[in-house]
Structure 1
Amino acid sequence: MSCGTKSSTSIVKIGGGSSGGGGGGCGGGGGGGSGSSGGRRSGGYSSVSSRRYTSSGGGGFSGRSYGGGGSRSSYGGGFSSGGSFGGMGFGEDTGLLSTNEKLTMQNLNDRLASYLDKVRGLEEENAHLERLIREWYQKQGPTGTKDYSQYYRTIEELQNQILLDIDNTRMTVDDFRLKYETEYTLHQSVASDINGLRPLLDQLTLARSDLETQFESLKEELIYLKKNHEEEMRGLQTQSGGDVNVEVNATPGINLMEKLNEMRCEYERLIENNRREVESWYETKMEEVNQQVHSSGQEIQSSNQQISELRREYQSLEIELQSQISMVDSLQSNLEDTERRYNMQLQQIQGMIGPLEEELASIRCEMESQNEEYKMLLGIKTRLEQEIAQYRALLEEGSYCIQADIKRQPDFWHSISCLAALGSSTKEEHRQEKCRILCSIWREISFRDEKCV
């Protein structure tokens, strides 16, 4: 049997005799240290783990050497064929071990089994209580964290809509500002054109006033000439109205009345011609001035219309250019925001991928190590099974030799019984006695092995 217990996957009873097999361990007998990563078997319970085999079995033998001592793989078992070979003691059915010792061993074995059953029951009860506590927390405990992902998506959509509305409003404000600036510039240009045309209007007004003054002066001169002519005509008529009878014996003179009439007619003709010429010149000048004013007004109007059309076209092109520029700016800002957001998401994903890759690498390394450990344990299991079969055969063959040795070598078995009687005493004289007995047993076993070989 084995004293050492460990929370492991299974407890297997290996070897052991039919009666009182697997002594040592709890009752006494040293030896049988366990290796760091090997397998170990004893005559009692062996603790088997998925990673490590540990047991504190009672003395055994390593290789072909019987007795105490540590080794990488120590085996403890018993030969039973009418007798038993424990950790450090051998016994017959008639008994090298007393009835009290057998009862003690059986009691210890029963206590160990009950202890293991109690541990298993406590573990099951603990698991049941943990399950009940989890169920109670699931039913009565605080509710789990709510899933706000839908609200987050709605908030994100609203934020994007608000940003889009802000961009559209900003673009509209920029468009109205551009329209105001273009209209203000057009107003300023029209005002400057009006201010530029005012001197021309003043010049035309002055020219018209000059022509009117010239017309008035010529009209007054004509009136004055008419008055002078009438006065001269009246003076000549008064002069010609008196009766003068002068008889002169002279050559007949020139007819003055006729000459005066001719002169009057000539002057009247000249005056009329001058008047017609002045009127025609005035009319032609007025027509020319009116035509010039009309043509200049039409030209100014057409120029203003052309300027207005060009300015409207320039304004529309400027507005379109500004709208395109603002659209490009908004698209660039959206592109930058999108790139920034996706870069942040990519960094987050990469940050998540890094630990996952490390975890995957660690899992792969652990899988490889577990695979290697599994292969190693499988090889150890195979070797142990082979050794178990070999030692079982040796035990079956050696049982007959032991019975014969018991009959042939009473001193040897007397030494073993003395060693078993000493038990696990810690007194110095008992320890020395045990060492002496072990040495004699060792020499006897070595001698017997040489004979067997």
Structure 2
Amino acid sequence: MTTCSHQFTSSSSVKGSSCIGGGSSCVSSVLSGSSCRASSAYGLGGALCGSLVGRYGGGLGVGYSGGDGSLLPGNEKITMQSLNDRLASYLDKVHALEEANRELETKIHDWYQSQGPRPARDYSPYFKTIEDLRNKIIEATIENAQPLLYEHELTLSQSVEADINGLLGVLDELTLARTDLEMQIEGLKEELAYLKKNHEEEMLALQNQTGGDVNVEMDTAPSVDLSRILNEMCDQYEQIADRNPRDAEAWFLSKSEELNKEAAFNSELMQNSRSELNELWRVLQGLEVELQSQLCMKAFLEKSLEETKNRCCLQLAQIQEQICSLEEQLAQLRCEMEQQNQEYKILLDVKTRLEQEIATYRRLLEGEDAHPAPAAPSTPDCSAFSPAQLGLDVSSSNLLPLIIPINFLLFLIPLS
């Protein structure tokens, strides 16, 4: 800034007032030089320097062209200083804007780096763990379902065996009934053949008897028509023989239909049982999961209870130690209080004896004052009141503050 002003003044002093447009050219040249140096120093572009030089140079040229041809150095210096100040303010603003621009670029770069595409995380180990856990769950489900499947199949096999045994019993009954009917049919056939044979023999015998010319008339009961009876019997037996297979077949068909209905009912019941079993299995799995969660919660609560017990035991032990220490301190205080009480009693006894001795000495002194003797009054012997003679503990330091003032008092009594 100062270099520009000095160059301007030097150039104006050289140019003088010989040319009006010289001022503007000098200002423009000086400003251009200073601006170029500033741009080289601060790294600014040439466009801003050119615009500033053009505006300020043109303004000064017009101002000086309208004068009387004389240049005032004072006005030039003020104008140049104002121009330099404005240029410095503009350069400071440009520098601040560049600094703000760099900060914004840094923030934008950081934002792009933070918001940019991140490398995809590798979840393959988690997928493998999930697959292993899923396989374990499936295996555990299959293992848990095998006993139930075995029990279900065992129940079905037992029910089928029971049905087969029941049907075998029915089949045996039907076979026995059929055998009985066949035997009855054979017996009836034999009886029919026997009756036919007897009938033929009787017919032959009758024919032989009626072969001669002998007419015998007898009044007998009308003969029975054996052929008709035999035919009726044959018809009856044939009807019975025809009716028994039909009845057996109808009975067998009815029983078969009943068994089919029962089998259909049992199959439907089995389907319902299977659906109920599946539902119960799902409920069982849910209850097992809930049981596991409750067991985990129970274990956690037991652990927390154990930790709480340990913490409470520790606190209780600390409190017990504090109580023991306080009890020891209390016992010590009690001992000290008893000791101090004993010492107080001893001191009280000493005080009483000393008061008695003082009263005795006072009476003696008052008696000597009433009857003066030629001998000088003698001070009482302090050794007569030794702590050992008074029953005190010589090692006790608590008696010293009391014995010394009493001895001093005994010395002061004669002076009074």
Is the pair's TM-score, using the shorter chain for normalization, greater than 0.5? no
TM-score range, shorter chain: 0.3 to 0.5
**Structure 1 length normalisation: TM-score?**
0.34
Question: Whose strand fraction is larger, Structure 1's or Structure 2's?
Answer: 1
Q: Which has the higher contact order (CA 8 A, sep 6+)?
A: 1
**Structure 2 length normalisation: TM-score?**
0.37
Question: Whose helix fraction is larger, Structure 1's or Structure 2's?
Answer: 2
